[in-house]
Structure 1
C-alpha cells in the first residue's frame, strides 16, 4: 500500500455517487441510525465488485456486450425505481415524522439491501476495480490476488468512513431542514431527479 493509493482512493470515494446520495437521503428521512445502515449497504456492495475483479469476472463483463448491457440496464431500472418510490412516498421528509419509529418505511435490512443493489447493478464498478487495483500491486509479489483483496478491503473501510461522515453531517442539520416543509419538498424532488440523472448517466455508459 502506498500514499498514492490512499490519496487516489480518497478522491474517488469523496466523489458523489449513488452510495453517498443514498446515505444522505436515508439519513434525512429516517435519522442517523438508518443512514448508517445505508452507508453499510453501499460499502458491502463493493465486496462483489472486488471479487469479480479478482476472479476475472469483470473481464468477462468487459468482453461480453450482452452481459454488460443486461447488468447495466438492471441498474438503470433500479435507480429509476428508487426515484419513483421517493416521489410516491408522501411521508418522505415529512416534518410530522421526525421520530424515526413513526416513519413507515423499509427496515434496517431493507435499507442495507437497497444500498447494496444500487451499486451492485453497476457493471462499470467491477471493471473499474479490475483496472484500478492492479496499478498499486508490486509486479514481484508472490500473491497478487491477496494483495488485491487487501487493497480492496482498505478501499471499503475508507468508503464506509466517508459515507458515515456524510450521514453524521446530514443528521446534524436534519431537524432544521425538516422544520421547513417547503425546503424539504424541493430537496425531495432534487434527490429524485439526482437518481434519474444517475440512471441516465449509467444508461449512457459504455464498456
Structure 2
C-alpha cells in the first residue's frame, strides 16, 4: 500500500470540514456516545461515493456539469438548513450534567446526508483513488474497494476522536451558558461558510 495514499487520505480526513463540525457539535451537545455515532454516520456517507466510483457513476458526475451542480447545490442547501436549525433550536448545544443520547437514527442520517451531498468526496475518489489502482488489471475493483475501506476506517477513527474530544470538555462548559451560545452561533456561521465555499467551488 502506498504511503502517499495513506498520508493524503489522513490529511483530507483530519482537515476540518462539514463532517468534523457536525461531529464536534454532536459530542458537545450529547456526549461521547453521540459523538461516535455522528462519526459513524459521516463514515457511512462515504459508501455511496465509493460505490459510484467503482461503478463509473462518479466519472459521469465529474463530466456532467448539470449533475455536479445538482449535487453541489443540494449540499449547499442542506448546510444552510443545518445552520438555520442550529440557530433555531437552542437545545442543539445545551450541556447537561446527565446528557440524554441523541436519537441514533437521526444522528446517523444527518451525518450520512452531510457526506452524501458533498461533491468534494466524489471528486476525491474520481481524481485520487484511481491513481493507485492499475486500470484494466485483474482485481482492480477489489483493490479500489480495499482502499475505499481504508479511507472509511480512517474517517471513522479521526471523526470519533474529534467527537470524544468535544465530549471531554463539555463538563467544563456546563457552567458557562454564554460560551455555549457563542459556540452554537459559531457552528451556524461555520455551516454557512462551508456552504458558501461549496457554492463557489
Settle same-fold status: TM greater than 0.5.
yes
Q: C-alpha separation between the residues in 2 aligned to 1:196 and 1:177?
A: 24
Following superposition, the deviation at residue 140 of structure 1 comes to 7.6
Match of 1:157 in 2: 153
Equivalent runs, 1:21-170 vs 2, <5 Å: 21-95=21-95, 97-101=96-100, 107-138=103-134, 141-170=137-166
Change (3 A) 1:80 1:137: same
Following superposition, the deviation at residue 107 of structure 1 comes to 1.1
Following superposition, the deviation at residue 12 of structure 1 comes to 1.2
The reply to whether residue 204 of structure 1 matches residue 197 of structure 2 is: no
Match of 1:180 in 2: 176
Match of 2:20 in 1: 20
Q: Any idea what SS the aligned residue of 1:50 has?
A: helix
Q: Considering only aligned residues, what root-mean-square deviation do their CA atoms show, in Å?
A: 1.5
Runs of 4+ aligned structure 1 residues displaced above 6 Å come to none
The alignment covers a number of residue pairs equal to 201
Following superposition, the deviation at residue 84 of structure 1 comes to 0.5
Q: C-alpha separation between the residues in 2 aligned to 1:64 and 1:3?
A: 32
- Provide the TM-score with structure 1 as the length reference: 0.92
Q: C-alpha separation between the residues in 2 aligned to 1:43 and 1:94?
A: 25
Change (3 A) 1:136 1:160: same
Runs of 5+ unmatched residues, structure 2: none
Runs of 5+ unmatched residues, structure 1: none
Q: C-alpha separation between the residues in 2 aligned to 1:140 and 1:65?
A: 27
Contact 2:31 2:164 in 1 (8 A): no
- Provide the TM-score with structure 2 as the length reference: 0.94
Contact 2:53 2:126 in 1 (8 A): yes
Q: C-alpha separation between the residues in 1 aligned to 2:71 and 2:9?
A: 25
Q: C-alpha separation between the residues in 1 aligned to 2:145 and 2:178?
A: 46
Contact 1:43 1:116 in 2 (8 A): yes
